[in-house]
Structure 1
Amino acid sequence: MKRFRAFAATASKGQRRAPMLAATALHLYFGAMRQTLASRRRSIMFKRNTLWMVLAAIALVTGGVCTAFAQGESSQKQQSLYERLGGLAPISVVVSDFIDALMPDAFLNANPAIDAARKRVPAPYLKYHVTAMVCQAAGGPCQYHGRGMKASHAHLNITEREWERMVTIFKEVLAKHRVPAKETQELLDIVRSTKADIVASQGGR
């Protein structure tokens, strides 16, 4: 009988411990689950942050490439000579001064044909056509409607020396208006492109 009571008491203690052990096991299990979930959450956040960093880096690189490309395009689209000279107004002033210097030049007027043309053709008419020609050749919106260079100069019998005198006067006018070297050279190239149609003789007075 004593043994039975002792066994019963031991069994009763075991039954009381069982719920405690089960509760402890559940606590450990859920604790482990929380840690696992927390670890996964950190891993997801790390991957998400890494992704954003990669995307940001790509955006910066792409933006830099686009900017460089845009700058390249901008540099290719340079201003025309017409724009760099300041437009029609400055061009017309330079042409006006050039014609005013050209008309009374004694060396040029020693050519009877040139002298006769100076008296026959009004200076304003000549300025209008030369301004339109330079404006168009420089990339401006003007349209030259005068005669071709060959047709309008053939009867003047312009010599090489007379041509060089005209170029010298043109350079002096450009210098007077402080036209930059690059633009001066481009204007001289335009003028020289007409030489074959204007100069009739390589000799001269």
Structure 2
Amino acid sequence: MSSMLEKLRLHSVLLALLMMALFGCQSISSPKEDALYHELGGTKGIEQIVDIFIYEIGENEVVVHHFEDTDIDRFREKQIEHLCVLSGGPCEYTGDDMIESHLGMNITETEFNSMTNSLITALDKAGVSLGARNRLLSILAAMRGEIIYR
């Protein structure tokens, strides 16, 4: 069962990347509409997603070591801002850029994929639709190069 779930998650990530390649990625700095924001449940929905995501990170043995010295309250706040902005919501992201915040972490592809799986789990647990989930993942996938091997 776990193997099948992992295959489905990997398939979803690959599908999102394919969709991004085929249709282009909408600008992550200034989304043109707020439909995704509303599909994620607005600010309350995004807060729920981030809270579940933080729990999932804590259970993720592959990546949890990267968060040992992290101010979790600040991390939560910046994740909420970031997802809000990326989904077209009425927020302002006040955190560091992706390259700066991942500098020196040397995140591997395996760790990046593991974090993606933790996010997929959080989105599923929060009841986010498959379409909204894949649109968000395609936006986030565009930042992959700013995160891994830094």
TM-score bin, normalised by smaller chain:
0.7 to 0.9
| More helix by percentage | 1
The one-letter code sitting in structure 2 at the alignment partner of 1:193 is A
Distance (whole Å) between structure 2 residues aligned to residue 173 and residue 119 of structure 1? 20
Higher relative contact order (CA 8 A, sep 6+): 2
Equivalent in 136, 145, 166 of residue 85 of structure 2: 136
Equivalent residue, structure 1, for 2:63 = 108
Equivalent residue, structure 1, for 2:43 = 88
Is the CA contact (8 Å cut-off) linking 2:48 and 2:126 kept in structure 1?
A: no
Distance (whole Å) between structure 1 residues aligned to residue 144 and residue 57 of structure 2? 17
Q: Which has the larger radius of gyration?
A: 1
Structure 1 residues 150 and 84, CA, compared in 2 at 3 Å: closer, same or farther? same
Give the drift of 1:85. Answer: 2.0
Equivalent in 102, 110, 114 of residue 165 of structure 1: 114
User: Post-superposition, which runs of at least 4 consecutive aligned residues in structure 1 deviate over 6 A?
Assistant: none
Structure 1 residues 144 and 79, CA, compared in 2 at 3 Å: closer, same or farther? closer
The one-letter code sitting in structure 1 at the alignment partner of 2:55 is D
Distance (whole Å) between structure 1 residues aligned to residue 34 and residue 97 of structure 2? 27
The one-letter code sitting in structure 1 at the alignment partner of 2:49 is V
Q: Helix, strand or coil for the counterpart of 1:126?
A: helix
Distance (whole Å) between structure 2 residues aligned to residue 90 and residue 78 of structure 1? 17
Give the drift of 1:103. Answer: 3.0
TM-score computed with the length of structure 1 as normaliser: 0.54
Structure 1 residues 127 and 79, CA, compared in 2 at 3 Å: closer, same or farther? closer
Structure 1 residues 83 and 118, CA, compared in 2 at 3 Å: closer, same or farther? same
Equivalent residue, structure 1, for 2:142 = 193
Distance (whole Å) between structure 1 residues aligned to residue 59 and residue 75 of structure 2? 14
Distance (whole Å) between structure 2 residues aligned to residue 178 and residue 169 of structure 1? 14
TM-score computed with the length of structure 2 as normaliser: 0.73
Give the drift of 1:199. Answer: 0.6
Q: Deviations over 1:80-130 (max 9, x none)?
A: 211222210111110111012113421224xxxxx2x52222211101001
Q: Helix, strand or coil for the counterpart of 2:103?
A: helix
Which ranges in structure 1 are unaligned for 5 or more consecutive residues? 1-76, 110-114
Task: Trace 1:37-186 onto structure 2 (pairs within 5 A).
Answer: 80-109=35-64, 115=65, 117-186=66-135
Equivalent residue, structure 2, for 1:24 = none
Which ranges in structure 2 are unaligned for 5 or more consecutive residues? 1-31
Distance (whole Å) between structure 2 residues aligned to residue 121 and residue 169 of structure 1? 17
The one-letter code sitting in structure 2 at the alignment partner of 1:101 is E
Compute the RMSD of aligned alpha carbons. Answer: 1.9
**In percent, how many aligned pairs have the same letter?**
28
User: How many residue pairs were aligned?
Assistant: 119
Q: Deviations over 1:30-63 (max 9, x none)?
A: xxxxxxxxxxxxxxxxxxxxxxxxxxxxxxxxxx
